[in-house]
Chains A and B, each alone.
Chain A
Amino acid sequence: MVSFINYLINGLSLGSIYAIIAIGYTMVYGIAKMLNFAHGDVIMVGAYIAFSVITTAHLPVACGVLAAIFGCMLIGICIEKIAYKPLRHAGSSLAVLITAIGVSYFLQNVALLIFSSNPKMFTPIIPMTMMTIQFGVFRVQTISLVSITVSIVLVLLLQLFINKTRPGQAMLACAQDRGAASLMGISVNGTISLTFAIGSAMAGIAGVLLCSAYPTLSPYTGAMPGIKAFVAAVFGGIGSIPGAMIGGLLLGVIEIMGKTYISSQLSDAIVFAVLIIVLLVRPTGLLGKKVQEKV
């Protein structure tokens, strides 16, 4: 039982990181109507920025986290302006998907040239002496608690932002009908940039958390978590922020439980199999809206 709870906490910890990444995916999808495959690599960029600031420049951890957030924000906006905006009216959502893949290759290879392929050991943001906390018979990793807390706080803040502020409302409007929103005087370009900025900033946070929990950092660090988070976003119903949160957490728990109790070699297959089953029962994900198709 004790170990079951431990596995559960490990799963929630991994899941909360997936959730933060998935929220970025889902927001961009909801508003720009595109799958941003480069999102996973923004995580990697964030982790490298934090690594450079904390380990190479010996600045405090807080500086590293802030640098990662703002660095990713900037990169997210630039990617959108340079690579995605020219294709917004291309008529095919596939065109921009492929461009996103190009951006993903680009980020990986730039990182490869700058930081070389030798993996770096990320300095966890938790000091070595405070790695675990004892609760009775349970021993919990501090980073797990931090990840879970951060993800919950971020979701609450985002919900507040979207529901209570004007830019948030503008995002909702753009998500529903971009044309009508622009007729109402909402700057669609500005709103999409804002979405990318927020999504990428979250990727930066995710990068720091991911590499603190699993400390090897290489140019390909972001690829697999990116795909998993994409799965999580679909799982929860793409476009829905609470859905992404739930999808991420579930995915993390399923992955860890599958690894532990079924087979560590098949854990990815198990994750994907569960996804398929969920989508067959609920074709638009757990919290996805049912869209009635019209002729």
Chain B
Amino acid sequence: MKNRMTSMTKASKDNLGTILMLVAAFVIVEILRAAGLVNAHMDGMLVPICVYATMAVSLNLVVGILGELSLGHAGFMCVGAFASAFFSKCFENSMGVFPRFLLAILIGGIVAGIFGFLIGIPVLRLNGDYLAIVTLAFGEIIKNLVNVLYVGRDSAGLHFSIKDQASLGLMEDGEMIIAGPQGITGTPFNSNFVVGFLILLISTIVVLNLINSREGRAIMAIRDNRIAAGSVGIPITRYKMFAFTLSAVIAGCAGALYSHNLSSLIATPARFGYNMSILFLVFVVLGGIGSTRGSIIAAVILTLIPEVLRFMADYRMLIYAIILIVMMIVNWNPKSRAFIQAHSVGKIFGKKKTAKSGKEGA
């Protein structure tokens, strides 16, 4: 606590650094693209990278800043993806691309936020691993429900069913919008790197600002010691709900970005299941819990590794697993940490080394 207070100005400098890092990365990539130095594979990866980095920012808010373990974040992304794609499908021909896509992103964020709020009411009453398992449960329920949701449209309006396509009773002119397990097909392809970057940048700025605000300090006080925070009059539930809902909104926007990057949106076990939530958690933990910048960097690296390893064919996922284990051990083992601190390249930047606590605020 004390450290954080004294390093206030340092924290805002750090935040500026994070934002500058993002902008610099964006500019470099754009220059490379303009120069034709980016191949199709990497070019296609840019939007997904923005999606995952935004998810990492979102989850870091819950895990790192609020201090609660969420294993269901893919569920919020799923809600945002389906809500926004549904909107875009409905209004594809009746609105211009720009206002529609903007609205779609907002709707994705808002719907996910509503889910976050509703789920937060029961979830945030729990603690620790129990909270984690309930978020996992909600994530799985969302995925399960999306897979039995059928929505069709004909001249009589919208039709819903949670049984099958036939029970919608669509007329001749009808079309399916959400076809249960087949999801949404034909979402307009609107996402691009600029939009993705903007969503990532805005999310980052929002989260960094929050951390350095009165609310953010209250939230971190709750993380560090709930009872003490409560006893000095911080309204615990309200702040917890606020952080959780905001995180869901960001995840929903990332979902909107994701769904407008692919023409076929399906909620499979690997996609939007607990596996994906865990993947996001890996970004946050590997990036240094609580560090927004670290989370973003980890998201970028871990998204690229399996793709860069494609030449290894069958062995690449095995190598990925080994890299993950080794990175975790090297990064978190107390002895190896001490070793790195003593011998790292960072020593070159020696003067910044002072007054840094183990847990960072930015």
Residues of A within 8 A of B (CB): 29, 35, 37, 83, 86-87, 89-92, 94-95, 97-99, 101-103, 105-106, 109-110, 112-113, 227, 230-231, 234, 238, 263, 265-266, 268-269, 272-273, 275-276, 279-280, 283-285, 293-295
Contacts and interface: CB of A to CB of B under 8 A. Distances in A.
Contacts of B228: 295
Q: Is the interface of B mostly helix, strand, loop or mixed?
A: helix
Interface string B213-232: 00000000000011110000
Contacts of A294: 227
B133 A230 contact: yes
Contact of A280 (B125, B129, B138, B314): B125
Nearest to A263: B148
Contacts of A91: 332, 334, 358
Nearest to A90: B332
A275 B320 contact: no
B144 interface: yes
Interface residues of B, number: 48
A44 B297 CA distance: 34
A272 B141 contact: yes
Contact of A276 (B63, B137, B315, B333): B137
Nearest to B139: A272
Contacts of A284: 130
Interface string B272-313: 001000100110011001000000000000000000000000
Residue from the set A110, A231, A265 with the largest chain B CB neighbour count within 10 Å: A265
B137 A109 contact: no
Most interface-central of A98, A103, A230 (chain B CB within 10 A): A98
Contacts of B8: none
Contacts of A275: 133-134, 137
B321 A102 contact: yes
Nearest to B337: A90
Contacts of B147: 265
Given A91-B358, A106-B318, A265-B147, A279 B134 contact: yes
Contacts of B335: 86
B69 A94 contact: yes
B223 to A, nearest CB: 13
B144 A268 contact: yes
Given A91-B358, A102-B321, A113-B314, A272 B140 contact: yes
A170 B176 CA distance: 62
A109 B332 CA distance: 24
B126 A109 contact: no
Nearest to B269: A224
A279 B126 contact: yes
B144 A86 contact: no
Interface stretch (B14-22, B26-34, B243-251, B322-330): B322-330
B24 to A, nearest CB: 28
B122 A234 contact: no
- Scoring A86, A266, A293 by chain B CB atoms within 10 A of each residue's CB, the highest score goes to A86
B127 interface: yes
B317 interface: yes
B329 A87 contact: yes
A234 B332 CA distance: 27
A285 B328 contact: no
Nearest to B274: A227
Contacts of A283: 125-127, 130
Contact of B227 (A94, A234, A293): A293
Given A105-B317, A265-B148, A283-B127, A272 B333 contact: no
B57 to A, nearest CB: 17
A95 B288 CA distance: 10
Contact of A98 (B122, B282, B314, B322): B282
B353 to A, nearest CB: 20
Given A272-B138, A283-B127, A86 B329 contact: yes
Interface string B136-163: 1110110011011000000000000000
Given A109-B318, A113-B314, A276-B134, A99 B281 contact: no
A284 B358 CA distance: 31
Contact of B334 (A29, A90, A98, A285): A90
B62 to A, nearest CB: 12
25 contacts: A37-B278, A87-B329, A90-B333, A91-B358, A94-B285, A101-B278, A102-B321, A105-B321, A106-B325, A110-B318, A113-B315, A227-B136, A238-B130, A265-B144, A266-B145, A269-B145, A272-B136, A276-B137, A276-B138, A279-B126, A279-B133, A280-B125, A283-B130, A285-B130, A295-B225
Interface string B100-142: 0000000000000000000000100111011001101110110
Contacts of A102: 321-322, 324-325, 328
Contacts of B285: 92, 94-95, 97-98
A295 B226 CA distance: 8
Contacts of B322: 102, 106
**Complex A-B, nearest 5 residue pairs according to Cβ-Cβ distance, in ascending order:** A272-B137, A105-B321, A102-B324, A106-B321, A102-B325
